[in-house]
Chains A and B, each alone.
Chain A
């Protein structure tokens, strides 16, 4: 099995949390679809699509890095990790612009139930992106200090797994908040 068991448990445990969050959202959506639809109509899909693309590129870079680790291409692994870190930082920046935009038109966490979910879900996810960037930075530091030999590829797989989870959660969040309307 790639990565280590503990990381898989962590990832599954974290996805349980998000599953509960998504269920709560779906439950409240069903209770008042009109309100949620109005809220969704106010979100800008541009930000959502951009962030989706950013995370997909980041995940692709991490996947390439994991593949590269098998061939021991140290420099390329490092560059690919920089690409992934870059997409993560751009994601944060894009989110900050989006929040500023929403707040400036008067949509805050206390506006209504839809925006409560919008802010809490995206903030919890945002925290995951930050932690994921931290993990990627740790991988770069380890790579620079000790090279790609030894247990590095295992660490890279674990870090990659966490990064893919961050991506996967967004792939679920994006349609839930921006696209699916019932």
Chain B
């Protein structure tokens, strides 16, 4: 039984690990913010050529971070099972959406890697760069598909000893709304909703990123509470 909760703690600890790795990788690529969409293909290709090593290293680090998503999402899923009355469909929804989201992230890094592979072809680099950033910022609305079932499960779980705090449900709903600021990215090449603008880039990515440290804290607290409960109950309950 102790072994079980230890595995659970291990999976929950993947949250902080992926947060740090992702941030480190992202900063290393140097796309802060994304390249100006008004730039010519030559300017884009030049940026890639000049920073090629740091971009590649950054992508590889983010790819490593991606390896920690599955255990992290698994830990959240199992905590959802501990809730008193979560509809199973909410858990299925969360699992499907988070799995799809991980694949989606992998696809973004893959295109990004391809963009760095032959930087001498300026037109292709520009196109792949657009593909990366439209993929990355636009369907960050993909992430809300994971926030919604999580929020709803928490809100319908009405027992007193909560698995996740209720404010965390509202926080998830708030993240859904903020993530939608990336929706308009395909309409603009300049201004606040363009891919280097305050909404499409800054609000969108910050909200997306902050979700991981906050969820890590909420999850680890919940896991610690559940292992205390397990330690006090007789041996038959192996739930976590």
Contact = CB atoms under 8 A, between A and B. Distances in A.
Interface in B79-118: none
A10 B173 contact: yes
Given A24-B198, A120-B193, A110 B174 contact: no
B174 A116 contact: no
B69 interface: no
A120 B184 contact: yes
A6 B166 contact: yes
| Interface size class, chain A | 20 to 34
B181 interface: yes
B170 A9 contact: yes
Interface string B191-231: 11100001100010000000000000000000000000000
Contact of A24 (B169, B171, B178, B192): B192
Contacts of B188: 110, 116
A105 interface: no
Contacts of B178: 13, 17
A116 B166 contact: no
Contact of A6 (B170, B180, B203): B170
A14 B177 contact: yes
B192 A6 contact: no
Contacts of B191: 28, 113, 116
A127 B180 contact: yes
A120 B183 CA distance: 10
A39 to B, nearest CB: 14
Contacts of B203: 17, 20
Interface in B120-167: 166-167
Contacts of B184: 109, 120
A7 B198 contact: no
Contacts of B192: 24, 28
Interface string B22-55: 0000000000000000000000000000000000
Contacts of A28: 191-192
Interface in A19-67: 20-21, 24, 28
A4 B166 contact: yes
A5 interface: yes
Interface in A88-138: 109-110, 113, 116, 120, 124, 127-128
A20 B200 CA distance: 13
A20 B166 contact: no
B185 to A, nearest CB: 11
A51 B180 CA distance: 24
Contacts of A128: 177
Interface of B: 166-167, 169-171, 173-174, 177-178, 180-181, 184, 187-188, 191-193, 198-199, 203
9 contacts: A6-B171, A9-B167, A10-B173, A13-B171, A17-B177, A20-B198, A21-B199, A113-B191, A124-B180
Given A24-B199, A109-B184, A110-B187, 12 more contacts: A6-B170, A10-B170, A10-B171, A13-B171, A14-B174, A17-B178, A17-B203, A20-B198, A24-B192, A110-B188, A116-B193, A127-B180
